[in-house]
Chains A and B, each alone.
Chain A
Amino acid sequence: MSYREAMRAAMREALQNDARVVLMGEDVGRYGGTYAFSKGFLAEFGSERILDTPLSELGFVGAGIGAALGGLRPIVEIMTVNFSLLALDQIVNTAALFRHMSGGQFSVPLVIRMATGAGRQLAAQHSHSFEGLYAHIPGIKVLAPATVQDARWMLAPALADPDPVVIFEHAGLFNLEGEVTEAPEWDIAHARVRRAGSDVALITYGGSLPKALEAAESLCRDGIEAEVLDLRVLRPLDEETLIASVRKCRRAVVIDENWRSGSLAAEIMARIMERAFYELDAPVARVASEEVPIPYPRHLEQAALPQPEKIIAAVKGLYA
């Protein structure tokens, strides 16, 4: 099954199982979803539940929040993270704050999904990674399914969660093929080791996971056993699993497609310093995006992003 098929199966299951679930967003209905995630849904579930919206990110995300407060379980699809900036006010000032401002009277059971990331030569305005920015905000939860299995099984618990959950789906993963179990294996509270190792912890999430795994295989040929930790949940962070991995390996490299300054990687590194500093054999390193808007030409775009070679070089630097 592909990542795309897995996400589609997850949404279809949610719509079948709970009449309160609605899908709303740009081109989710008649077009079948920008990435064909909801192809056929309009015919199967009807226009009352599959809502094509105008290009009004602020409006329809806010409407999703209100619909959640009113008793529905909306899945709001924002075409890409780039356009989510137009809805940021509603996500931050309403969805994330509502429970707190009301003294615990109202919860907002909303799921917001969006495509994220670069790598397809879509140039500066269509290649952002803002997972770290969203993970900064108390009141929302942030998920990054990086495997087909997680694409299949993270949505249901996100919909069952009483609070707003933002799901980042890296567009570079959509054609990824993988195994899917019949039932969910993992919750949406924990990070997961994708490859066990003992020499260095490669800590990553989302679209950088395949790159980290590729780097780990290459390092293995050079005699370095890398452990690859997929964070999966970017807020709240599963600090215990993170720290356990670092303590075991005593070396760590954080791989993050966010821009380097103020990135999620920076937060991960800070947590490692706070809790595992004296157990490290080398300073923690990171591979993040270069601090430049993502350029259009392929060679420049690739140079701006984390790559297996950069990860390998960063790991080897720890032994220098």
Chain B
Amino acid sequence: MTIDHPPPAPTTGPVPWEKSFAQKMLEQMLRIRRMEEKCAELYGAGKIRGFLHLYIGEEAIAVGALSCLTNDDNVVATYREHGQALARGIPMRALMAEMYGKREGCSRGRGGSMHLFDAERRFFGGNAIVAGGLPLAVGLALAAKRLGEARVTAVFFGDGAVAEGAFHEALNLAALWRLPVLFCCENNWYAMGTALERAQAETDLAKKASAYRIDAVACDGMDVVACREATEQALARLHAGRGPQFIEFRTYRFRAHSMFDAELYRDKAEVEAWRANDPILTFAARLRREDKLSDAEWAALEAAAEAEVADAVAFAETGTWEPVEDLLKDVYTPCHA
């Protein structure tokens, strides 16, 4: 059986982080994983409706990349953004309540899974138009530059977005105006069901960014160490005045595109091959080898994640529905009807 997109050999090298930080990274990935597993279950139970796009398998990217940002930076994400939202610090309670459509959700229930927002944490959504967030990120960076603010705008998007015109227009603008944008491409090889090589003549995505004179690198998106290092280096280049940066995180989604996907377009052997690179399990194994994670510590992380998920679900369950009388709220800003 041939595999169209073979995974790289799992990283086994040393983890260049001290124990507490390394465990923090592991914990973040685990929280995302356990939250999303519960989301899938709740979807089956009819508690979460609409579209639900799981990030399972890609957690190292959000955790590694966002660990390099400050609270002043901007984050723009896609409809597969549960991982970024949680890693950015939005409380799991608010995320779960949003998926339920409850008023206590991070978008007051109006957005759901695909439209997670948090103004306080400078989290600008949750955009369900492929590549729709890229021009927005360029504008956020333009404002920051014009206003003399040091903030960076990180924008996440998939390989599918690279085929959109908005991608090319946004990269050109960012490069032309030398804006502080960090383009984070999560290449999971499939734009819904269409494999990269069936959709794009040039499959080396970093090359496309290079064509706009943007520094572009590819990294192992299954390795949280590699993801963090690539982001650190890109930010260093950005701060050194080299303009916008592009990182292709090569990754894989272990689950279907959404909950309606029968996965007829990819080989189960390919999914299994990538599962051997599970970002959480491989990283945990490395930490164990280096005596940075004991069985008891792992069990404690697991227990904490499970407890947090249970708490978030309970919070969402007891959340309230926005009254229908408020239906027309927030189409326009109040006092300016």
Interface residues of A (CB under 8 A from B): 20, 22, 48-49, 51, 53-54, 56, 58-72, 74, 89-90, 93-94, 98-107, 138-139, 141, 161-163, 189, 236
Which among A64, A72, A74 is the interface contact of B147 at CB below 8 angstroms? A72
With A and B bound together, what is the CA distance between A117 and B111 in angstroms?
A: 36
Q: Is B198 an interface residue (CB 8 A)?
A: no
- Interface size, B (range): 35 or more
Nearest 6 A-B pairs (CB), nearest first?
Answer: A66-B139, A62-B135, A70-B143, A59-B169, A103-B108, A102-B117
Chain B positions within 8 Å of A59 at CB level: 135, 138, 166, 169-170, 172-173
Chain A positions within 8 Å of B125 at CB level: 98, 101-102
Q: Would you give the shortest CB distance from A157 to chain B, in whole angstroms?
A: 10
B173 touches A67 (CB 8 A): no
With A and B bound together, what is the CA distance between A69 and B132 in angstroms?
A: 15
A163 touches B336 (CB 8 A): yes
Which among B119, B142, B332 is the interface contact of A63 at CB below 8 angstroms? B142
A93 touches B169 (CB 8 A): no
- Report the nearest B residue to A109, measured CB to CB: B333
Chain B positions within 8 Å of A61 at CB level: 135
Which among B117, B142, B169, B329 is the interface contact of A67 at CB below 8 angstroms? B142
Q: Is B105 an interface residue (CB 8 A)?
A: yes
On whether A65 and B136 interact (CB within 8 A), knowing A58-B169, A105-B107, A106-B119, the answer reads yes
Q: Would you give the shortest CB distance from B152 to chain A, in whole angstroms?
A: 12
- Given A62-B139, A72-B147, 16 more pairs with CB closer than 8 A: A51-B177, A59-B135, A63-B139, A66-B140, A66-B143, A68-B139, A70-B147, A72-B142, A93-B129, A94-B127, A94-B129, A101-B126, A102-B107, A102-B115, A103-B108, A163-B333
Which among A20, A103, A105 is the interface contact of B109 at CB below 8 angstroms? A103
- Report the nearest B residue to A24, measured CB to CB: B142
Q: Is B331 an interface residue (CB 8 A)?
A: yes
Chain A positions within 8 Å of B144 at CB level: 70
On whether A66 and B136 interact (CB within 8 A), knowing A72-B147, A99-B332, the answer reads yes
User: What are 14 contact pairs spanning A and B, CB under 8 A?
Assistant: A54-B173, A54-B176, A63-B135, A63-B142, A65-B139, A70-B140, A93-B129, A94-B136, A99-B331, A100-B331, A101-B110, A107-B333, A139-B331, A161-B336
On whether A69 and B330 interact (CB within 8 A), knowing A58-B166, A93-B132, A102-B117, the answer reads no
- Report the nearest B residue to A64, measured CB to CB: B139
Q: Would you give the shortest CB distance from B273 to chain A, in whole angstroms?
A: 36
On whether A103 and B139 interact (CB within 8 A), knowing A60-B173, A62-B166, A139-B331, the answer reads no
- Report the nearest B residue to A62, measured CB to CB: B135
With A and B bound together, what is the CA distance between A54 and B172 in angstroms?
A: 9
**A54, A62, A161 — which one has the most chain B CB atoms within 10 A of its CB?**
A62
Which among A58, A71, A141, A189 is the interface contact of B135 at CB below 8 angstroms? A58
Q: Is B62 an interface residue (CB 8 A)?
A: no
Chain A positions within 8 Å of B126 at CB level: 101-102
Q: Is B45 an interface residue (CB 8 A)?
A: no
Chain B positions within 8 Å of A68 at CB level: 139, 143
A189 touches B333 (CB 8 A): no
Which among B111, B118, B134 is the interface contact of A62 at CB below 8 angstroms? B134
Chain B positions within 8 Å of A161 at CB level: 336
On whether A236 and B337 interact (CB within 8 A), knowing A103-B105, A104-B330, the answer reads yes
A62 touches B136 (CB 8 A): yes
Q: Is B124 an interface residue (CB 8 A)?
A: yes
Chain B positions within 8 Å of A105 at CB level: 107, 117-119
Within 8 A of A (CB), among B294-337: 329-333, 336-337
Chain A positions within 8 Å of B165 at CB level: 58
- Report the nearest B residue to A56, measured CB to CB: B169
Which among B108, B127, B134, B136 is the interface contact of A69 at CB below 8 angstroms? B136
- Report the nearest A residue to B134, measured CB to CB: A62
On whether A104 and B329 interact (CB within 8 A), knowing A58-B135, A62-B135, A72-B146, the answer reads yes
Chain A positions within 8 Å of B134 at CB level: 62
A139 touches B139 (CB 8 A): no
